[in-house]
Amino acid sequence: MTKKDKTQIIRKTLASLEKVYKNVEPPEPKPVFERMLQSILSLNEEPAATRKAFELFEMEFVDWNEIRVSSVAEIGSVLKTAGLDPEKARVLKSVLGRLFVKKNQLSMDFLLNYKEKKAHDFLKAFPKLPLAILNELMLVSLGHPYFPVTDKVLKVCQYLDIADENQDLEELSLLLSESIPDKQMLRAYYIFCAYADDLKPEQKSKKATKKSSAKKAAPAAAKKTAKKAAKK
């Protein structure tokens, strides 16, 4: 399948999904630093576990600076208790440490005043920051056109046959970023996430409500759209 074919599938699928997910809107914006922490903890995790982790951090530590100077084991123990991957502790500690060294503060609001390339270069310099989180910060917090490829987004792309198990995630992110207009990208990201949730087997029950049924029809409709686009 050519890049042009994939672009056509992405655009037609998004147009189809927008009719189903009319009520999906991006969440209220948060400070960049808070958004980064949430992105690190929530990446490919269940929302309830992420909330639990924040609650435990507030109980166990004075503030994020105390977390910064704590050991990976201490941070990982909290994450494990919350039901999150304890390996995220290495990412969290690395990011907090580098931010403090570079700016002598635990705030990232200065990125709002950076131009796109400068902001991207700053975030890219964090050695352990996953690409999906970097791009989510660029899009959700800073408003720059970088499409995050989380597990949910990858799941949708694999379902549409525009990505495979060995997919280069940076390449896929670039394809999505180039295929979707800048003004639509933020909402498109959350639509893809909602769509991925409706692809879960446990959400395909015959007892679903009419609203749920409409959403469950979206995957089949999008798949049909993809096949038609690929034949053209």
pTM to 2 decimals?
0.81
Instruction: Print burial letters for 129-151: b (CB count within 10 Å at least 16), e (below 16).
Output: bbebbbbbbbbbbbebbbbbbbe
CA atoms of 40 and 54, how far apart (whole Å): 12
Per-residue pLDDT of the chain (232 residues; tens, 9 = 90+): 899 999 999 999 999 999 999 999 888 888 999 999 999 999 888 889 999 999 999 999 999 999 999 999 999 999 999 999 999 999 999 999 999 999 999 999 999 999 999 999 999 999 888 999 999 999 999 999 999 999 999 999 999 999 988 899 999 999 999 999 999 999 999 999 999 999 855 443 333 333 444 444 555 556 555 555 445 5
